[in-house]
C-alpha cells in the first residue's frame, strides 16, 4: 500500500470531518476522519480540479 500523507481534518458543523491526502505516486485521497483505511482514490490532478470547482461554487447546489 502507498504511504499516504494526510492533511489535518476539515470539519464542518457536527461530526462531518474529512481528510485529504496524497502519495508519492501522484494519487489523491479523500476519507472521513477516523476511517482513513476506507478512502476514495483518484489522481492528484482530479483532487485539485475538485477542490477548484468546489471553491468556484460548482457544488453549492448540494448545500
Per-residue pLDDT reduced to its tens digit, 42-61: 999 998 999 999 999 999 99
Greatest Cα pair distance, the chain, in angstroms, is: 36
Q: What is the pTM of this model?
A: 0.79
Q: What are phi and psi of 30, to 5 degrees?
A: -130, 135
Q: Residue 12: what pLDDT? A: 78
pLDDT averaged over every residue in the chain:
91
Query: C-alpha distances in angstroms, 13 versus 17, 24, 27, 43, 63?
Result: 9, 32, 28, 28, 13
Amino acid at each position: 500500500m502507498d504511504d499516504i500523507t494526510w492533511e489535518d481534518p476539515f470539519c464542518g458543523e457536527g461530526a462531518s470531518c474529512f481528510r485529504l491526502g496524497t502519495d508519492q505516486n501522484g494519487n489523491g485521497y479523500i476519507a472521513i476522519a477516523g476511517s482513513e483505511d476506507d478512502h476514495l482514490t483518484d489522481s492528484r490532478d482530479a483532487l485539485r480540479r475538485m477542490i477548484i470547482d468546489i471553491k468556484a461554487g460548482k457544488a453549492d447546489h448540494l448545500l
